Structure 1
């Protein structure tokens, strides 16, 4: 089996962070988000991975290369223009000569891929969708199955009286090679709105695999912050990278993760979950509350950052204040005594 990861989107809901960096390369606790997916795929014995992309493809090639340093083999299927989920898969069809595991590039999960593959084979399925249960079905498109797991119908954001289940598409699939033949060539096409209804109409063996583990879509700023908190809450202790230094009288009431070659000054207050990248300098008397600070940023004395995200190579001058919900793009300068 091979794996395919769909990472062609522009990440517009995560701007300004994605103006210079593709969403899958944004760090999550100081590691590119895409690397979590690659490591999960590798853990379950799949070594051949196809990255389907359109936006800033050279950034992926620069970081991952042929994949060998990560213990996998990576091929690249580059779209001249974004073709949607289905079009991206079709564009990579030349690499597929066996069943393929397909990942939505926005999703972080602890899904047991071995169980999923076993289920797909046992059912003799041609296409299998992973499903997760949600508390509020009205906010999602639902996928209804019968007791045997056969997919019966798709309900797009139903009203309360239309709800027949609480399972949604979790963005991970297994397709047999013949399923890719059902996708038209060289056109924008959606697996969700085009391919899946077509498979139902043609009565393909089409199943849903329900699991109850961790699942989050990082496509919005709120969810991007949330995934940091979720992972940091699992940390048993604070983590300080190589050659990073902590000053005197630092008060930590929460979890702290610092990358390499960073420094925190004296009398700094840290509350909640604070994630600091590489080559970051936090001066004396700063307050950091539930925030993310990416590589190369400098925070001058007396500044306060609360529930915000700061991009790479930024400068916050003396006594700057970022209130809850701020997202600062790369290379931004915030002048002294600014309030945002």
Structure 2
């Protein structure tokens, strides 16, 4: 193990056994190592606040077992058509004023279609980009030409999660293949857009599956610039509603391992924070997480999320501060 970690460097030749050894390190040693890697590549006291807005909610034809937006499941989530461009830009302005440096727009689509709705998303991307925010979208599967349109509009990042390992994938989703996700990531790369891709733990997967998912990310020719680590949000009406809550130490291990094998990447502490105490989140930051998602009305897409004012208090308590986008005028008043 010491030979693996002796020199902190970006590498793409990890083996599953090596990542598994890291994941299974004694917890305090693992966190110490991850914290050391984090400080070698990132400011030690900065956390990026990313605002995530659902611009089109529900009615999705996919069967992702964890998702309350799938049309086939009977949940309390209200279907919402694509929001007006002006409404989205108003949300983006509010997010910037509140301290966000990244604005993410999510649409519950299986795939992008070349129609008027996509034209409207292009206008949204242009508008958010003009505000000086990093603009990110997650819209489902994407062709190379569609990715290029988004890039030309000013899209900074595209989110397309692996969700889980290739081996476990078919247990969670049947309407899309693992390779479809890889193809979309490749199309995003070809267009010159940065990649945001991570996954969810607590789906019933094994430790081997968690390691395998990280292996896929860590052996890409270029590592994703952003990796969200989500804990399953158990939504009533979905097939996974009765699974147990993810243990905080599982989140810490996953974040720490991601930080070590993906040293330059932004590791995002994502869904599941609502069930975590401030102390538990502090462990995740120590393990290498350097981004959190905020959502208006204390929601993250369609699930509960901590209030932004509470997040700001937490960051202050921990001696952390919101990351400011490079060349962006400060929006934090002292």
TM-score interval, normalised by the smaller of the two chains: under 0.3
Q: Which has the higher contact order (CA 8 A, sep 6+)?
A: 2
Q: Which has the larger radius of gyration?
A: 1
Which protein is richer in helix relative to its size? 2
Which protein is richer in strand relative to its size? 1
